[in-house]
Amino acid sequence: MKFLMKQLKSQWLIILVLLVSHIFRAHFTLLLPSYTSDLVDVGIQNSGFEYAVPLAMNQDDYAHLSPLLSQEESETLATHYYQDNRGNYVLHEAVQKDDVQMQALQNHLIEAMALYQESDSLPQEAYADRDAAYEQLVAYGENHVHNLGVQTALSFYRNAGYNPHDIQVRYLLVQGSIMVGIALITVMIEVFAFYLSSILGANVGKQLRSETFDKVLHFGETEINQFSTASLITRTTNDIQQVQMTIAIWFRGAAYAPFLALGGMYYVLNTQKSMAWILAVGVGVVFGLIAGLMALTMPKYQIVQKLFDKVNLIAREVLTGLQVIRAFGRQGYETKRFDQANEKLQGTHLFTGRVMSLIGPTITLVMDITSIFIVWFAAQNIASGTMQVGDMMAYITYSMQVMFGFLIFAGMSMQIPRALISLNRVREVIETSISIHEPHESVVLEDVAGVVSFNDVSFTFNDAEEPSLEHIDFTARPGETTAIIGSTGSGKSTILNLLMRFHDVSEGSITIDGVDIRQLSLRQLRDLIGYVPQRAVLFSGTIASNIGYGVENLSEPELERAAQIAHAEEFIQGKAQGYDAPISQGGSNVSGGQKQRLSIARAIAKDPEIYIFDDSFSALDYRTDRSLRQVLKEEVSDATLIIVAQRISTILDADQIIVLDEGRVDGIGTHEELLESSSVYREIASSQLSEEELAQTSDANESEIEMEGFDAPKI
Ligand SMILES: Nc1ncnc2c1ncn2[C@@H]1O[C@H](COP(=O)(O)OP(=O)(O)OP(=O)(O)O)[C@@H](O)[C@H]1O
C-alpha cells in the first residue's frame, strides 16, 4: 500500500481533478430523477402548472374565491392582478416569470386555493371557519394541498378562456431541454473522467515500467538469477499492465461510485425517510452477496497469477527450445506438459467465471425486489396523499443509484487484491537492493596501463554451498596475453565476471594498476574493458550500429578497422548493404561465427586498455581463430589480453596460461612450462593434440602446426 501511495503521489493533480469531476458528475446525474419527477407530477398531472397561483380568472371565479380570502390576501390579489378588456383578472407578466414572487404568492394563497376545490364538499360552517377546514386538508399531506391548489388555478385559467395546453407544452419543452442539457454535461464530464483515469493508469504504468527497467539495467548476475529472466519479463509487461488497468478502471468507476451512492442517499432521506429501511436492506443484501463472492473467488485469483506464471514459463521454454524439442521428438511430451498447466489455468478461470456470472442476475433480482417493495409502500403513501407518482419514480431511481454505487464500488474493489499481487511483484524488483554498489568516492584512473591483478580471490555464489573460486592469484600485464584454461565448470567465466564486476569477490581483491576495482566507478571500470561474452549477443539494428554499440559516433575508418581485425570485413562486404545491412533481433539473421566476429569487432571498436574474451574464439574455425589473434596482438600490442579458451591451440602462444581445476589454480606458466608442471594441463593438452604435435609444441615451435597457405588480412 505504501508503495502504491508513493506511485500515486506524483499523480496528485490528476487524481484531484478526477475526484472533483466525479463530484460534478454525481451531482448532475442525481439531478435528473427530480426533473423526471417534475415532468410527471407538474408537466403531465398538473398540465405544466407549477404553482397554486391563478394566472388568470374570470369575474365569477374571483367572486367565488373572495369570501375565502382574508383582508390581507384580497389586497395581495388586488396588487398583483390587473383587469383585461374582457374583465378577467390577469396576473402581471413580470410576476409570472419570477419564481421567487410566484413562490411567495403561492405561500400566501395556497390555503384559499386548496379550500376552493373542496368548497362544494365542505359544509358552510366549516367553510366559514377556514383555519379548522384547512387543518383537515393538511392532514392528507402537503402534496395533496398543493395539488388541490394547482387544480383550482388550472380551472380558473380554463374558465377565463385560456388553453392550458400551451403552458403544458412550454413547461415540457423547457424541462426537457434542461434535462437534455444536464445529460449532455454528464456525458461530457464522464468522457473527461474516462480520459483522465486512462492517463492516470498510463502514467503510473509508464512510471513503474521505467523504474523497473532502470533497476534491472543495474542488476548484477545475482539479482537476475534471483528473479529469472522469464519472471522479469512477466513483471515488466503483464504485471504492470494489470496494475495500470486496475488503476484506470478503479479511478473511473469505483472512485465515482461513493459520490453517487452518498448523493442518492441524501435525496432518498430527503424525500421519504419512512421508506429508507427498504434501501438499507437492499444495500445490505448486495454487500452480503459481494462479500460471499469475494470469499469464494479471491483465493482462486491468487492461484491464477501463479498458474499464469507457470504457463508463461513453459511457453517460453518451448519457444526458445523449439529446435531441440523437434530434434528429440518431444512435441507430444511438451504438448502434454503445456496442456496440463493450461487446463489448470482454464479450470480456475472457469470457476471464477461461473461464480462471477451469478453476480449479474442475482443483483438484478435484489434490485427488482427492492423496486417492488418501494412501489408497494409508495402506493400506500400516494393513496394517502403524502407522495406523488413522480416522487415515487424519482425515489426508485435514487434507490437504484445508491445500490448501483455500492455495487460498482464493491465490484471494482474486488480487482484490487489481484492488482496488489501484481504490484507487489513489481515492487520486489524495484526495491531489490543491488549487490554491486558504486563506490562512495570513486578513484579516477589516469594514464591507465592495464595491469590486472587477482589477489587471493575467492568467490561463492549466493545460493551455493561451496565456493566456485578459491585463492586465485595472478597478474595479467599489458602487451601480454593471459589465457585461462580448465575443464567445464572450473570457474573460467566466473573469473571474467568478477573482473567486470557482474559479481563482487567474496574474499581478496582485484586491482587495475594497483587500484581495487570496487573503488572505480562502474562506468570507468567497464570503459576500460572490451568484453566479448561466451554467447555473442547482438541487438536489432545494422552491422554498423552493433559494432559501434560501445562508442559514440564511431568514425568510418575506425569501424572498418575493427571489422578488419575481427575478420568480419569479408562477410560484411558480401552483403549488398554492407555495414548498413540489417541485424534482426538477437542477431538471428547471421551465423554463429559471424555473430561472434561482430561481437569481437564491437569490443575492438571501443579501443579499450583491457580485452577479455570469454571462450569467444570457439565459434570460429581454427584458421580464423589463429589469424585473428595474431592480427589482434599486432594491432593492440599495448593492451592486456585475457582469453578464456577450451581449445589448447588458441592459447599455445599466450605469455602465461592459468590452469584452473575446480575453482583453484593448478598451475601458471607458458605452454611448455605447464606441460612439465601441471598434470591437469598435460591431460587437456594430450586430449586435444597428437603425440607429434605435443612434441613439437614442447619444443616451442608452435608455428609448425600452423595451417599452411593461410595469410592474415593486411590492416
Ligand atoms: N549463478 C550461479 N549460481 C550458482 N552456481 C553457479 C552459477 N553460475 C555458475 N555456477 C557454478 O560455478 C562454477 C563455475 O562456473 P563457470 O561458468 O565460471 O565455469 P566455466 O569454467 O566458465 O565453465 P564453461 O567452460 O562450461 O563455460 C560451476 O560449478 C557452476 O556450476
pLDDT tens for residues 258-317? 999 999 888 888 877 778 888 888 888 888 888 888 788 878 877 887 787 788 788 888
Is 569 inside a domain boundary?
A: no
- With a 6 Å cutoff on the Cβ, whether 220 touches ligand 1 is no
Report whether pLDDT(707) > 60.
Answer: no
Is 617 inside a domain boundary?
A: yes
What CATH number is associated with residue 691? 3.40.50.300
Residue from 228, 459, 461 whose mutation best tests the ligand 1 pocket (most atoms within 8 A of CB) = 461
Is 439 inside a domain boundary?
A: no
Task: Tell me: do 182 and 234 sit in the same domain.
Answer: yes
Ligand 1 centroid – CA 658 distance (Å):
17
pLDDT bin (cut points 50, 70, 90) of residue 209 is: very high
Report whether pLDDT(705) > 50.
Answer: no
Residue 127 has what pLDDT? 62
In whole numbers, what is the pLDDT of the chain averaged over residues?
Answer: 86
pLDDT bin (cut points 50, 70, 90) of residue 700 is: very low
From 38-52, 337-351, 408-422, 686-700, the region with the lowest mean pLDDT: 686-700
Taking the model in full, what pTM does it have?
A: 0.71
Task: Tell me: do 475 and 332 sit in the same domain.
Answer: no
- With a 6 Å cutoff on the Cβ, whether 688 touches ligand 1 is no
- With a 6 Å cutoff on the Cβ, whether 490 touches ligand 1 is yes
Task: Tell me: do 157 and 178 sit in the same domain.
Answer: no
What distance, in Å, lies between the first and last C-alpha atoms of the chain? Answer: 62
Rounded alpha-carbon distances, angstroms, from residue 53 to 38, 80, 92, 107, 586? 17, 11, 12, 9, 85
Residue 642 has what pLDDT? 94
Instruction: Give how many domains the chain has, as a whole number.
Output: 3
- With a 6 Å cutoff on the Cβ, whether 450 touches ligand 1 is no
Residue 511 has what pLDDT? 95
Report whether pLDDT(122) > 80.
Answer: no
Task: Tell me: do 15 and 115 sit in the same domain.
Answer: no
Residue 698 has what pLDDT? 58
Residue 208 has what pLDDT? 94
Is 562 inside a domain boundary?
A: no
Task: Tell me: do 398 and 456 sit in the same domain.
Answer: no
The ipTM estimated for the assembled molecules is 0.95
Is 436 inside a domain boundary?
A: no
| DSSP summary character for residue 619 | T
Selection from 638, 564, 621, 574 nearest residue 598 by Cα: 564
Q: Whose CA is nearest to atom 14 of ligand 1?
A: 491
Cβ–Cβ < 8 Å for 538, 595: yes
Selection from 512, 489, 490, 491 nearest residue 500 by Cα: 512
Helix (H, G, I), strand (E, B) or coil at 541: strand
Domain C-terminal end among 126, 161, 196: 161
- With a 6 Å cutoff on the Cβ, whether 493 touches ligand 1 is yes
The amino acid at 249:
I
Give the nearest ligand 1 atom to 494 CA. Answer: 18
Task: Tell me: do 245 and 317 sit in the same domain.
Answer: yes
Ligand 1 centroid – CA 150 distance (Å):
95
Domain C-terminal end among 161, 187, 207: 161
Give the nearest ligand 1 atom to 221 CA. Answer: 1
pLDDT bin (cut points 50, 70, 90) of residue 550 is: confident
Is 270 inside a domain boundary?
A: yes
Q: Whose CA is nearest to atom 24 of ligand 1?
A: 488
pLDDT bin (cut points 50, 70, 90) of residue 121 is: low
Residue 699 has what pLDDT? 55
What whole-number distance in Å separates Cα of residue 468 and Cα of residue 493? 11
Counting other chains too, the contacts that 99-104 makes at CB distance below 8 Å and 24 or more residues apart are: 102/50, 102/51, 102/53, 103/51
What whole-number distance in Å separates Cα of residue 150 and Cα of residue 381? 20
Residue 212 has what pLDDT? 93
Q: Which residue has the higher pLDDT, 403 or 384?
A: 403
pLDDT bin (cut points 50, 70, 90) of residue 232 is: confident
Residue 279 has what pLDDT? 84
Ligand 1 centroid – CA 680 distance (Å):
18
Helix (H, G, I), strand (E, B) or coil at 88: coil
- With a 6 Å cutoff on the Cβ, whether 489 touches ligand 1 is yes
Cell, residue 150: 394547482
Domain C-terminal end among 161, 188, 203: 161
- With a 6 Å cutoff on the Cβ, whether 205 touches ligand 1 is no
From 52-66, 98-112, 133-147, 363-377, the region with the lowest mean pLDDT: 133-147
Task: Tell me: do 64 and 210 sit in the same domain.
Answer: no
Range of the domain at 114: 56-161
Is 417 inside a domain boundary?
A: yes
Task: Tell me: do 352 and 467 sit in the same domain.
Answer: no
Is 230 inside a domain boundary?
A: yes
Task: Tell me: do 87 and 199 sit in the same domain.
Answer: no
For 58-163, where are the alpha helices, taking DSSP H only?
A: 59-65, 71-80, 93-96, 99-118, 124-128, 130-138, 142-159
pLDDT bin (cut points 50, 70, 90) of residue 129 is: confident
What CATH number is associated with residue 301? 1.20.1560.10
Residue 497 has what pLDDT? 92
Ligand 1 centroid – CA 496 distance (Å):
11
- With a 6 Å cutoff on the Cβ, whether 578 touches ligand 1 is no
Task: Tell me: do 187 and 315 sit in the same domain.
Answer: yes
Residue from 465, 492, 612 whose mutation best tests the ligand 1 pocket (most atoms within 8 A of CB) = 492
- With a 6 Å cutoff on the Cβ, whether 553 touches ligand 1 is no
Task: Tell me: do 343 and 487 sit in the same domain.
Answer: no
Task: Tell me: do 84 and 198 sit in the same domain.
Answer: no
